[in-house]
Amino acid sequence: MKKQNIRRSALRLQGLRKRWLVNTIMPVFLLLTLLVALFSVGVSNYYYGSLQKGLETRVEVLCNSFHEYFMGSGYSSYYQKAVQAAQNFEDRDIIELQFISAGGHIEVSSSGLTAGTTPGTSDISQVLMGNEKGSFMGTDPETGEQIMAASRALRSGGRVVGIMRCVTSMRLVNQQVMLAVLVIILIALLCLSMVLISNLVFINDVVEPVAVVTDAAKRISHGSYGFRVENTYTDELGELVDNINDMSMKISQNEKMKTEFISSVSHELRTPLTAITGWGETLLEDPVSDPVQTRRGMRIILNETRRLSTMVEELLDFSKMEDGRFTLGIEEVDLQAEFEDAIFTYMELFKQEGIELTYEDLGEELLPPISGDPERLKQVFCNLLDNAAKHGGAGKHIHASITREGAEQVIRIRDYGPGIPEEELPYVKQKFYKGSSKARGSGIGLAVCDEIISLHGGELIVGNAEGGGAVVTVRLPEEQ
């Protein structure tokens, strides 16, 4: 199974590389191909256009000179002058000067090799059809060579007596065009190679951390809670690794708290059930025992039953809180009256345990009612008072007060016990958290209280008081 998972991960990463390369290289490749094509067309047009224009200019200059100095005589004089012009032509190495008859045959050529042949190209046909000039670029019908030609009409007495034609091979210009195109192709390939290499390096820098994070996520999903990935990155990948590590640690903490919660609840349920069962069996076997002993047993059964009921209520509230069914019955509430009811309820109970509960009221001042759920608020007060007795009862004194501070009504409950370790303060309101406390409880009471106060738009603050002990502050707004 492990090998299959590794293989699947490798295939996914290969697919990621492939998609990355296709999505980045293909657009660059298409763009470079388009640029190479446009450059090739532009270079070709430039070289061939320049050559064509040069030939046309050259044949026009030669034709004008020939008309000025040699035309006007008879045909024999024209032929002699044409031979003389061909023999004295300076650029015979790169351009061939031809004199063509009205029938399309080459009569005189500066190379002497094509005399007597009939080229039959379109530039000659254009002049013979009455145009003043013609041009041609293509394959020579006689030699099969790529050529470029420009022709001009030679007139005498208003009629065409011949054609002057300049012809050059395209071999050199083709080589220049091919060289220019090859250079741009090499530049394009170099650019494409640089893009490919940079993308391969970049994608490896991305894929490898993704593989590490994927492996870490699988290990966490398979139960390796608390596993951490070494973070050597400073960008978004580093943030991702930090989030994975944070998630792993939180899952580990939640799993640990859940395990401790199950163990704690099991113990908390077993203890009162054992007491109830033991005293129930004792009273059942000896129903006419000492009335004092019977009363003591009934009180223990009643207290343990109350503790079980409280625990079940907390579990039910927590379940509702987790799935979003935790709601409030809002009405006008006299917060001071509800708090005092809780105070007087617990005052006698604490006295039996040797704990003095003092209450600081407002005297003649009356607090305005607020919007809230009286049952839930009283549940908070009772839970906080019970916590103060369980965790701070060693101080044998609990002080409670209610005041008005601005637009808020503030309740404080302080014990004079050992207080809460500073490192545990940020976590005391988390579900299942009990920290180093050995007191009985499920570890969800404060979480439920915090949720109730939050739903009222208020704030529950847990801290240590000056002079020792812990203090819990409840702030509730008068207007919501």
Residues 76-91: tens digit of each pLDDT: 677 788 888 888 888 8
Residue 345 and residue 463 in one domain: yes
pLDDT above 60: residue 12: no
pLDDT above 50: residue 249: yes
Inside any domain, residue 269: yes
Residue 344 and residue 423 in one domain: yes
Alpha carbon distance, N-terminus to C-terminus of the chain = 57
CA-CA-CA-CA torsion sign (236, 237, 243, 249): negative
Q: In this structure, are residues 413 and 343 in contact, taking their beta carbons and an 8 Å threshold?
A: no
* Residue 248: alpha-carbon gap to chain centroid: 21
Residue 273 and residue 339 in one domain: no
Residue 360 and residue 276 in one domain: no
Residue 79 CA to residue 105 CA, distance in Å, equals 13
Inside any domain, residue 10: yes
For residue 426, what is the DSSP state? G
* Residue 171: alpha-carbon gap to chain centroid: 56
What CATH number does the domain containing 140 carry? 3.30.450.20
| 135: β partners | 150
Residue 122 and residue 76 in one domain: yes
Residue 249 and residue 356 in one domain: no
- Domain boundary among the residues 273, 290, 323 is at 323
What CATH number does the domain containing 308 carry? 1.10.287.130
Residue 300 CA to residue 75 CA, distance in Å, equals 148
What CATH number does the domain containing 433 carry? 3.30.565.10
- Domain boundary among the residues 323, 356, 377 is at 323
Residues in Cβ contact with 58 at an 8 Å cutoff, skipping those fewer than 6 apart: 91, 95, 150, 166
Banded model confidence at residue 402, pLDDT cuts 50, 70, 90: very high
Residue 13 and residue 160 in one domain: yes
159-169 vs 96-100, strand pairing mode: antiparallel
Q: What is the pLDDT of residues 312-343, one digit of tens each?
A: 776 777 677 666 667 788 899 999 899 999 89
Residue 240 and residue 346 in one domain: no
Looking at the 3D structure of the chain, how many domains does it have?
3
Residues in Cβ contact with 343 at an 8 Å cutoff, skipping those fewer than 6 apart: 357, 359, 381, 385, 400
pLDDT above 60: residue 9: no
Inside any domain, residue 420: yes
Least confident of 149-163, 313-327, 360-374: 313-327
- Domain boundary among the residues 174, 200, 220 is at 174
Banded model confidence at residue 64, pLDDT cuts 50, 70, 90: confident
Residues in Cβ contact with 320 at an 8 Å cutoff, skipping those fewer than 6 apart: 326, 327
Q: In this structure, are residues 137 and 170 in contact, taking their beta carbons and an 8 Å threshold?
A: yes
Residue 101 and residue 159 in one domain: yes
Banded model confidence at residue 460, pLDDT cuts 50, 70, 90: very high
Least confident of 17-26, 367-376, 384-393, 428-437: 428-437
Inside any domain, residue 184: no
Q: In this structure, are residues 135 and 150 in contact, taking their beta carbons and an 8 Å threshold?
A: yes
Q: Which of 441, 407, 150 is nearest to 271 (CA)?
A: 441
Per-residue confidence (pLDDT) for residue 4, from 0 to 100: 47
Per-residue confidence (pLDDT) for residue 11, from 0 to 100: 47
Least confident of 71-85, 104-118, 337-351, 364-378: 71-85
Inside any domain, residue 212: no
Inside any domain, residue 134: yes
Residue 311 and residue 359 in one domain: no
Banded model confidence at residue 149, pLDDT cuts 50, 70, 90: very high
Per-residue confidence (pLDDT) for residue 233, from 0 to 100: 67
Residues in Cβ contact with 413 at an 8 Å cutoff, skipping those fewer than 6 apart: 384, 385, 388, 398, 399, 400, 471, 472
Residue 51, classed as helix, strand or coil, is helix
For 297-309, b/e burial (b = at least 16 CB within 10 A) is: beeebeebeebbe
Residue 39 CA to residue 41 CA, distance in Å, equals 5
Inside any domain, residue 193: no
Per-residue confidence (pLDDT) for residue 411, from 0 to 100: 93
Banded model confidence at residue 14, pLDDT cuts 50, 70, 90: low
Residue 317 and residue 338 in one domain: no
Inside any domain, residue 52: yes
CA-CA-CA-CA torsion sign (327, 331, 332, 337): negative
Residue 310 and residue 382 in one domain: no
Per-residue confidence (pLDDT) for residue 459, from 0 to 100: 93
Least confident of 226-235, 240-249, 404-413: 226-235
Range of the domain at 71: 2-174
